[in-house]
Homo-oligomer: A and B are copies of this chain.
Amino acid sequence: MVAYTPGQVVEETGFSLDTLRYYERIGLLEPIGRNASGQRRFTEGDVSWLGMVRCLRDTGMPIAEMVRFAELVRAGDQTIRERVEVLEAHDRRVEEQFADLREKQEALQRKIQYYKDVLSIPDGVYDAQG
């Protein structure tokens, strides 16, 4: 059975050692196994769960919600349906984020265009704040 040292997990997942320990403390990771001298040894399962965590984190899921999701995972197979609901709700939020951000970006681009228009008529007098 393969076991990963903390250093290897840092390498693989991109999370810092402190972050990994923090995630374990708050219950986002279940207690990580230890070798004879008390050092962490991560399993394949731990690492793949960290992949899920990264995915959720990078799409903006708050830690508290990831912890709730982790609890569902630990509760076993009968929670799969609920997990799908959580993930789909999250996916819809991500979709909303997109729409929102796109709108805001369009506003930004209009402002940029405004500045460029001012630039192209160099000696006008404008209130350049709007």
**What residues of B have a CB within 8 angstroms of the CB of A100 in the complex?**
58
Q: Which of A2-10, A11-19, A33-41, A81-89 participates in binding chain B?
A: A81-89
Known: A98-B98, A104-B58. A112 touches B129 (CB 8 A): no
Known: A105-B91, A108-B59, A108-B91. A127 touches B48 (CB 8 A): yes
Contact with B along A21-62 (1 / 0, CB 8 A): 000000000000000000000000100110110011011000
- Contact of A20 with B by CB under 8 A: no
Number of copies of this kind of chain in the complex: 2
- Is A67's CB within 8 Å of the partner chain B? no
User: Which chain B residue lies CB-closest to A74?
Assistant: B129
A119 near B59: Cβ-Cβ < 8 Å: no
Q: Mark A99-116, 1 if CB is under 8 A from B, else 0.
A: 011101101110110011
A64 an interface residue at 8 Å Cβ cutoff?
A: no
